[in-house]
Chains A and B, each alone.
Chain A
């Protein structure tokens, strides 16, 4: 009993700094934001009412959901392919895949966004190259639109989408795959009818994490969207820092947090936290 007790106390002590930090730096200020949303500029539900009627806010919400959905599909699909190689490839392939997954974590999100600008802009590498081989005559608009935002965000989120998938693929019983092949199923068929369905929890976890991350993206859409493809986080920023409309910015923040919270609750109904790492 003593052992268990002291273990618990020890665990609580180890967790305490993080918990304290979250309360002081996140929960407490957020309560302030909640307060603003009900009190600025006048007390009441005015800002939430505005939120429901303001066309701009609604279009940004819809765009954010659309981009997040596209980014999720792109990221999870790409991550699935990389993870298959990482978990089940030859030793050399594994090292290569690991490199591709880990290196992006070392490069700042800002650097990566500007990197994509350099690649995708009208006089960027891709357009220059396509023109030089005569494939196109006019540069393609690859950036400062939703396409650029999707590319940049997917690039950022793929490594995060990998981990839940890897965890699901690692816990899969190899013999079940052998059984499928032994029963006459080709590799392709085994992949689609056995392997993919058996990694379902990983796919759900990966998709929800990517989707939730996408909703709050700020830097990447701001740079690659070029102001034409504003997402919700950028809208909050604009409301609070550029137009003195703190109440509306706060209300949007509260709605975003509640929405994300609901998605997380949904996630943990289907997937155990330990399956995600």
Chain B
């Protein structure tokens, strides 16, 4: 075993031995500089290699073609406005910038003012601010779910369909039809009418098939108890029923004990081609048309009964997808706008507001004439901040817009991604889009930095 001892390595942080300098102060200053450089070096290295260099590279790259071999000058920039997909992205980004920040600032202002008036303000603010903690991806999944087109899955369409069905009188049976040769014939417009004429005082049953039992409205009741009812002298009565006994059995063309009535079906009495009376069926499918003059009538089930069911709104279809995604964006950012504006509100001179109220100003006047003008600087900051963020929106669009609708929803950031990495692989155009994004953000950013520095000094 050797007993060689190595001299202890000098610790890195230990100061280097002072050079035999004539002026010790100068040495100290030099040492100070070296330390200072050591402090900033990690940050500068990273920024230089991963931010400054890439910006320069991108700017240069944007003047070359897709493969990067040929210098094309400004072609990528002019080409943006000729390529329909990119043009669409520019248009959508413009919609975002015009709509979202204004809506958010307005909503934030209203909520900030209102929340001052309640006792559970803190809880409300927390709730509204919470979505800021949620990733765009998770928010995207949340809203993909909420916007689902199937009203049995998407809560928004469930609400829309629910409201619609509450206000519309008739149910719809899009799949219902009549069996041939059992009293009902189909007319040209899709309506069904009785083949035989009936006169007041008679009972007519209208049997339909083709409705799956699980598709019947929840209120539907068996038709049988009402089927044996008789009609008055000026009446036509009967039941509209599903001529199908679950589990088999029963006689076709006859109301059997287990057969269900068809509720909310429109029934008309027609004489000489003219509708003289109409009604809708009850839960058990029964109907009663009264006040009929003697004569012969046919009973008609108009086509509206068989119209396709109202299925709500296609939120994520090509036309509504951008507003829908902006809606999700509102969910995330409203709390931010509200809290920031609320902070501005809390620094407002209370006595000014109180004095105005004392002088008999209404709440609205106080809001219009005092609150909003005093808040103008804060509102501007919120607005500008949102413009910057809206311009860069990517994840939300990428996640919420379903594949086929992606190109209808595309914005600058997603388009830049698609062009550069998502199959387009035109890195010249992609770089140009990135540079465009940078140029668009600069003015808003300069404003924000100025404001921040002013607030610091």
Bound pair: A and B? Answer: no
Residues of chain B at the chain A interface (Cβ within 8 Å):
none
